[in-house]
């Protein structure tokens, strides 16, 4: 029995695929490469003719985190369950939006409206009794109305636990909001001692929060990113390296993995307390 966590190489976006020990599929964001659809990959490799993801969690509805949402309809893999921060919806259409952005926002608003019923316990794929013993805990930030103008402020943090392993999945959390969340004792306790941290905001320098990473105290940090630009990742890899415990992988010490260099990164956590890391430039 094992838990599989995949960080797909979706360029400057995010898509994390969690496969539970009993075969539930949980997606955290649905970013995609510009050249090929992540939904097409998921359809062809996991869901076949009639399968669907059991859950889609939208950490926050920034374009690069929902970029392939329309293709969930195109490839008929709409999730069985949806979580999103309802405070962020409906998304506002701006006069500066291009047609593709307008279409994507309209799709996100449509999906948010379609999932209007509460998830009942028996159908909840995030409940350990239903997914083979995986714990999923989600924390959302406390917001003032003035925070609503920046969609990054809605970013939730998800903690995935199986056996003695823990994966912390972030969105584009601003450092100020991470500091606020650290004031909650339950939050600080839940994120502590993680095996893997998905770096907030793709490892962007301006949102590096040393206090948060130290509280997580990860064995490894993952950046979901494309080649360095927009002042992202120019110096923060070293910052994360300094506060990440590190492991030995393929005979060499590693503390930070990046999708831009390592491709799709797959973690397999087994119930015998062993785990492994695989990387692939061709999987997606």
What the block records as the tokens of 234 is 């120019």
Alpha-carbon separation of residue 98 from 31, 95, 102, 151, 230 (angstroms): 18, 8, 6, 18, 20
Distance from C-alpha of 235 to C-alpha of 20, rounded to nearest angstrom: 35
Maximum Cα–Cα distance across the chain: 54
Distance from C-alpha of 232 to C-alpha of 201, rounded to nearest angstrom: 9
Decide: helix, strand or coil at residue 214.
Answer: helix
Distance from C-alpha of 134 to C-alpha of 193, rounded to nearest angstrom: 17
Query: The whole model's pTM is what?
Result: 0.97
Distance from C-alpha of 233 to C-alpha of 214, rounded to nearest angstrom: 18
H-helix segments, 144-221: 175-181, 185-191, 210-216
Edge-to-edge strand ranges of the sheet holding 135-139: 135-139, 157-162, 165-169, 196-198, 220-223, 256-258
Radius of gyration of the CA atoms of the chain, in A: 18
- pLDDT, position 88: 98
| Residue 237: cis peptide before it, omega within 30 degrees of 0 | no
- Distant-in-sequence, close-in-space partners of 97: CB < 8 Å, separation ≥ 6: 105
- pLDDT, position 213: 98
- pLDDT, position 147: 96
> Tens-of-pLDDT digits for all 284 residues of the chain?
999 999 999 998 999 999 999 999 999 999 999 999 999 999 999 999 899 999 999 999 999 999 999 999 999 999 999 999 999 999 999 999 999 999 999 999 999 999 999 999 989 999 999 999 999 999 999 999 999 999 999 999 999 999 999 999 999 999 999 999 999 999 999 999 999 999 999 998 889 999 999 999 999 999 999 876 555 566 788 999 999 999 999 999 999 999 999 999 999 999 999 999 999 999 99
């Amino acid at each position: 029995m094992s838990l599989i966590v995949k960080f797909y190489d979706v360029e400057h976006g995010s898509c994390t695929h969690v496969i539970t020990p009993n075969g539930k599929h949980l997606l955290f964001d649905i970013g995609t490469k510009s050249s090929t659809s992540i939904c097409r990959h998921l359809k062809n490799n996991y869901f076949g003719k009639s399968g669907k993801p059991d859950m889609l969690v939208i950490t926050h509805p920034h374009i690069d985190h929902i970029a392939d949402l329309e293709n969930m309809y195109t490839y008929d893999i709409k999730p069985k369950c949806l979580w999103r921060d309802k405070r962020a919806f409906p998304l506002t259409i701006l006069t500066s939006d291009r047609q593709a952005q307008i279409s994507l926002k309209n799709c996100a608003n449509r999906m948010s409206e379609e999932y209007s019923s509460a998830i009942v316990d028996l159908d909840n794929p995030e409940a350990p009794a239903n997914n083979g013993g995986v714990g999923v805990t989600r924390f959302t930030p406390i917001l003032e109305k003035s925070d609503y103008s920046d969609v990054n402020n809605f970013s939730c943090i998800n903690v995935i636990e199986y056996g003695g392993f823990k994966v912390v999945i972030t969105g584009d959390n601003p450092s100020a909001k991470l500091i606020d969340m650290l004031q909650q004792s339950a939050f600080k306790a839940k994120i502590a001692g993680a095996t893997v941290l998905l770096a907030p905001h793709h490892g962007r320098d301006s949102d590096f929060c040393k206090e948060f990473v130290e509280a997580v105290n990860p064995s490894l940090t993952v950046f979901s990113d494309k080649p360095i630009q927009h002042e992202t990742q120019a110096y923060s890899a070293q910052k994360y390296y300094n506060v990440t415990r590190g492991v030995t992988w393929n005979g060499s010490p590693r503390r930070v993995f990046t999708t831009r260099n390592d491709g799709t990164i797959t973690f397999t956590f087994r119930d015998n307390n062993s785990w492994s890391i695989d990387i692939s430039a061709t999987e997606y």
